[in-house]
A and B are shown apart, each in its own frame.
Chain A
Amino acid sequence: MKKLLLISLFSLLTLAAEASEWNLASLMQALQNQGARQARFSETRTLAILDQPIDQTGLLIFEPPDRLVRRLDPPGNLSAEIVGNQLTLWQGNERKQTLQLDNVPELLAFSASFRAILGGDSDTLQHYFETHLEGDAKAWTLTLTPRESGLAKRIKQIKVEGRGAEIDRYTTQENSGDQTLTRLLPIDAATESH
């Protein structure tokens, strides 16, 4: 009986040790190690008031620690650049508007989650969201649920799927039923596919 107990305790410990090899911290560490990168993305916005989704493609640029650019392909030709707490909207090369992110909670959440994941910034991520990680290093799903009520009123859940240190899909679900799905293609993969 005693032996059995010892064995099960041992196996429990082994399980815990195995789990500790793949967790949020190690995922974040892996993402952090990626450094600066670019990726093409394709985005599908499914909105309750539209009977067909909006599809757009563009380029995503991330430079640690805190610069994130989303540039839409022509004809929109709009891009948004986030550096620190500041969001700048560009039309081509012309600066249209600058906003302070902490004044616009929706944008703050969006940038905080997106940038924090790309940069492997676990603290910022957990400041805004409850995190739940599933799967293993090869194929994982990170689910984010907003902590703060203002954000929670708008956003239901954000789901990030990836393999190793690569992010594949990024899905934002809003309470209104609207959903935005962003697929990322590594820049090399993107050029190859062209």
Chain B
Amino acid sequence: MSAQLRLLLIWLGALLLGGGWAVTHINLRTDLSLFLPHGTAPEQRLFLEEMNQGPASRLLLLGIGGGSPETRVALSQKLAAGLRDSDEFERVENGAPRSFEADPILFEYRYLLQDPGKSDPFSVQALRSALEQRLSELRAPFPNPFQSQLSADPTGAFSSWLMGNLAQDTLHKPLGVWTTRDEKQALLVVLTRAGGLDLDQQALALQGIHSTFDRLNPDRIHSLVVSGPGVFAVSSRVVIQYESQLLSLIASLAIALMLWLAYRYPPYLLYAVLPLATALLSASLVCYFIFGELHGIAMAFGITLLGVTIDYPIHLFSHLRSQAHAKADMLAIWPTLRLGVITTCVSYLVLISSEFSGLQQLGTFTLTGLAAAAAVSRVLLPRLFPEPFASPEPRGLAVLRGFMQRRRWPAWVTLGLGLISLILIFRPGAVLWQDDIASLSPLPKQLLQQDRTLRAALGRAEPNHFLVLHGVDVETLLQTSGRLRERLSAAPDDRFAKLDLPSDHLPSQARQRRLQQQLPDRPTLEDHLKQAMRDLPFRENAFTPFIEAVGKSRTLPPLSYPKALKTGLKDRLQSSIRINSDGARALVPLQGAQDPVRLVEFINQTLPEIRYLNLRQETSGLVGDFREKVLKRVTLGGLFMLLLLWYGLRSLQRALLTLLPIAVAILITVATLLSIGESLNLFHLISLMLVLGIGLDYSLFFNRRDHDPEQLRTLHALTICAISTCGVFAILASSSIPVLSAIGMTVAIGVGLSYFSTYALSRGWTGSADR
């Protein structure tokens, strides 16, 4: 067995063993929280907490389509009943009021839960009109569900309170269940027991929904869409796994084809893969040992970025002369390669120092991979070739020879385009950055659109504006909320009245005591009732239970928050009030408020203790701040690169001339992205850093001062590198995941332009053109 073959077998064996260990030991984390920024302000943290664990994260929105309106309604009812039977769901609502059965505790407290405001429901006049109203209800064509409560509640205090609660549900329900405005979908809302980030449990719950639906829809007439944070988390796991596998398969095939076309020498396919495989394995292991875990997205991106390491063997393949000594040829190109690798690594150091733990992993992964690939390309790869080695002649040299003829126009075109781009980017009014956090979402746009549609139909649009109510305990919180309600109802316009405040459902105990004091005493009530009943067909003592209930309400201990949690109020209270170590808090969405600015002004003037939270602003600020930080580090990294180049090339002028074409290429890339309607986000920025690293490689090689045949081979290597990198990232650009597609597009355009720009502007073969 030759030494080369032995080395190859050992190398492959080590990769297999290491790979096997990695596959069995490293668990991929697939949730998205690592890619969310950590909030710094208390409001931000509150929101992020809410997003991760709050009821909002457990909410699923369902839409039933197909069939006829009637069959959709029937299916909505059956699906709701079916899901209620399962213990995976805490709550299932389809808009149909479920029961008019009185909650005994709430019924007992009916005179303390509702603020009658200025009107007195126990005046003779009010009682009279209530009784007349009840009488007309008794004539309804079907029995009144509240009829049995009539003698205990003739003023309808409980039923109007209940109806008031139901009336907040202003959604469209022409047939008694929630329906979209266009009446093409029946809607349901489901609250899972499992947390939104508990992916396995969420997946089970989703499976439960779909199998129940399929069982109830045996003819497949209807369709079901499910949306919500759980669906996002689960499907992004699936989509990311599927797309990254599919895309990397296609990319590998494309690279294999490229290598075949360029060299027509099968062993090269294996040799080219070895540094890449080594890079992936060592990157995964190092990441795992440093972070104790590996994030799926970090790995997917990392694999993509490491696709560049296939350049290293390509440089060697193209530079091998016939009757080559691989080690010597490697040594000849190594200084240039080394300078490129080191400077590229510098740009990934920026990622490691980022605040997103996902990006830290990505940075570590890529840095380790690059270093490992460079090391094995230098040390092990040349040893796989026999000495001397009859190397295959690279294909296409003849074509490339034509490009060796130096012409002036490419330089002028490049510089001209660079100038135009400069103007385009820095013209006043150009929107360069997109800091909306939604643009960072790894999910397909269609899924997000579907979610927006369902949310809008269910009136659960994710609100961006909140009022933050705070109290040392729930009682103080409810008192503040009650004061806010008072001010709002006293406000000149009733535009703000739509807000849903916690005190609307449970008044503070202080408020309940005040309401108790307003209740009439027994003789007064008896007297009023007697006058009100005159000439009406009610029996004389028909309302004795009512008189007793009002009397009892005067001495009832107020309904406390813990006791209220045992009633039907539980869901409403728990969805708005959060209790933690520093008190109680409620987030009130400003959905109904059309003019939040004026509302906030109004509240600031009257109740300064209530804070206002603009989520979009907060998160955009967060993302913007972060982007600024990254940009600063990139600038720093660029300066560091320049210093390294100055040292490596031993000339400041040469260092600057090496960087110039890349700078021009990046300018044109940015201008191109802007003019096709992309505005830049964090991921574009990271992709541009990759472009910087690759472009630098090209520039360094183009500027090498070698004699003619070397230059032709260099041009060949760079051409193969550029075509394969462009191809791989163009494949990535076709992804339905916005982040992958943004990275793919940026890198494909950027690398293509870098290749052209470094070719046009490099001074490496000026001499040969002159000769």
Interface residues in chain A, defined as those with a beta carbon under 8 Å from any beta carbon in chain B: 45, 47-52, 54, 56, 58, 70-72, 76, 78-80, 84-87, 89, 98-100, 102-104, 106-107, 110, 154, 176, 178, 180
Contact = CB atoms under 8 A, between A and B. Distances in A.
Contacts of B97: 99, 103
B141 A71 contact: yes
Contact of A107 (B138, B142, B174): B142
B429 interface: no
B426 interface: no
A178 B177 CA distance: 32
Nearest to A176: B148
A134 B174 CA distance: 43
B268 to A, nearest CB: 70
Contact of B139 (A56, A85, A98, A104): A56
Contacts of B542: 48-50
Contacts of A180: 143
Interface stretch (B70-78, B283-291, B320-328, B549-557): B70-78
Contact of A85 (B77, B148, B151, B173): B77
Given A72-B139, A86-B70, 16 more contacts: A49-B151, A50-B538, A52-B537, A70-B142, A78-B141, A86-B176, A87-B142, A99-B96, A99-B97, A99-B176, A103-B98, A103-B176, A106-B143, A107-B142, A176-B148, A180-B143
B143 A107 contact: yes
A-B residue pairs, 9 tightest by C-beta? A49-B542, A80-B141, A100-B176, A98-B176, A70-B141, A100-B96, A51-B539, A103-B96, A52-B537
A100 B151 contact: no
A78 B100 CA distance: 22
Contacts of A52: 537
Nearest to B134: A49
Contacts of B148: 154, 176
A84 B74 contact: yes
28 contacts: A48-B539, A49-B542, A50-B537, A50-B538, A51-B537, A51-B538, A51-B539, A54-B139, A58-B141, A70-B141, A72-B139, A78-B139, A78-B140, A78-B141, A79-B141, A80-B142, A85-B74, A86-B70, A89-B141, A99-B97, A99-B176, A100-B73, A100-B176, A100-B177, A102-B77, A103-B99, A104-B145, A110-B143
B102 interface: no
B536 to A, nearest CB: 9
Nearest to B138: A54
Nearest to B100: A104
A72 B141 contact: yes
B175 interface: yes
A51 B543 CA distance: 13
A180 B138 CA distance: 11
B649 interface: no
Contacts of A85: 73-74, 77
A120 B539 CA distance: 39
Contacts of B99: 103
Contacts of A71: 141
Interface in B447-488: none
B173 A98 contact: yes
A50 B98 CA distance: 30
A84 B96 CA distance: 16
A19 B498 CA distance: 66
B150 interface: yes
Interface in B150-208: 150-151, 173-177
A71 B97 CA distance: 25
Contacts of B145: 104, 106-107
A45 B141 CA distance: 11
A103 B95 CA distance: 11
Contacts of A79: 141
Nearest to A95: B174
Contacts of B540: 51
B413 to A, nearest CB: 70
A54 B137 CA distance: 11
A12 B39 CA distance: 88
Interface string B297-319: 00000000000000000000000
Nearest to B74: A85
B318 to A, nearest CB: 74
A133 to B, nearest CB: 25
Contacts of A72: 139, 141
A84 B69 CA distance: 13
Contacts of A104: 100, 145
A58 B139 CA distance: 12
A86 B74 CA distance: 9
B142 A47 contact: no
Contacts of A100: 73, 77, 96, 175-177
Nearest to B154: A49
Contact of A76 (B139, B174, B176): B139
Contacts of B138: 45, 47, 50, 54
Contacts of B543: 49
A87 B140 CA distance: 13
A98 B151 contact: no
Contact of B150 (A49, A51, A76): A49
A176 B150 CA distance: 11
A52 B542 CA distance: 13
B367 to A, nearest CB: 61
Given A70-B142, A176-B148, A98 B538 contact: no
B73 A86 contact: yes
Nearest to B150: A49
Between A84, A89, A100, A180, the greatest number of chain B beta carbons within 10 A of the residue's beta carbon is seen for: A100
B414 to A, nearest CB: 69
Interface in B72-130: 73-74, 77, 96-100
A168 B257 CA distance: 89
A50 B539 contact: yes
A79 B142 CA distance: 9
A56 to B, nearest CB: 6
Nearest to B543: A49
Between B147, B151, B173, the greatest number of chain A beta carbons within 10 A of the residue's beta carbon is seen for: B147
Contacts of A89: 141
A76 B141 CA distance: 9
Contacts of B176: 86, 98-100, 103
